[in-house]
């Protein structure tokens, strides 16, 4: 068993740096290629900056808050409600509740983000019509 662990350690020590190098090389290569394509088309790459998404932070914040709330609720349920079922089931069989509640509450966070963005867009639309 120890021989397999040593071999795995050696493989990880070789593969991880190679993968990191390949990832960084790929990102730099694609960025340079994109700049060259813009120059070939007569565009100035310095003029085109990434578009800012004003609600991106809101979306990520609500998603992570929802996922955290789902994880916390799953933990509480697992250690209170499902603790009494330990005689029927092994206590480690409650992994599905963690994944499902993270997905449910994360989805609720994205749903709230959508409604907040929609409300702001409607408000901006009314303001533009009034001008």
pLDDT tens column, 25-51: 999 999 999 999 999 999 888 887 766
3-state secondary structure the chain: CHHHHHHHHHHHHHHHHHHHHHHHHHHHHHHHHHHHHHHHCCCCCCCCCCCCCCCHHHHHHHHHHHHHHHHHHHHHHHHCCHHHHCCCCCHHHHHHHHHHHHHHHHHHHHHHHHHHHHHHHHHHHHHHHHC
**pLDDT tens figures, 51-81:** 667 788 889 999 999 999 999 999 898 888 8
- Domain extent listing, the chain: 1-49, 56-130
pTM assigned to the model: 0.54
């Amino acid at each position: 068993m120890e021989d397999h662990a040593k071999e795995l350690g050696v493989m990880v020590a070789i593969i991880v740096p190679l993968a990191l190098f390949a990832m960084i090389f790929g990102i730099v290569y694609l960025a340079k290629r994109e700049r060259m394509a813009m120059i070939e088309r007569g565009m100035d790459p310095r003029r085109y900056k990434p578009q800012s998404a004003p609600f991106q932070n809101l979306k990520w914040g609500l998603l992570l808050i929802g996922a955290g709330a789902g994880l916390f609720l799953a933990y509480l349920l697992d250690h209170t409600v499902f603790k009494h079922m330990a005689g029927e089931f092994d206590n480690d069989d409650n992994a599905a509740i963690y994944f499902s509640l993270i997905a449910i509450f994360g989805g609720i966070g994205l749903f709230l983000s959508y409604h907040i963005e929609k409300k702001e867009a409607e408000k901006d639309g009314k303001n533009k019509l009034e001008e």
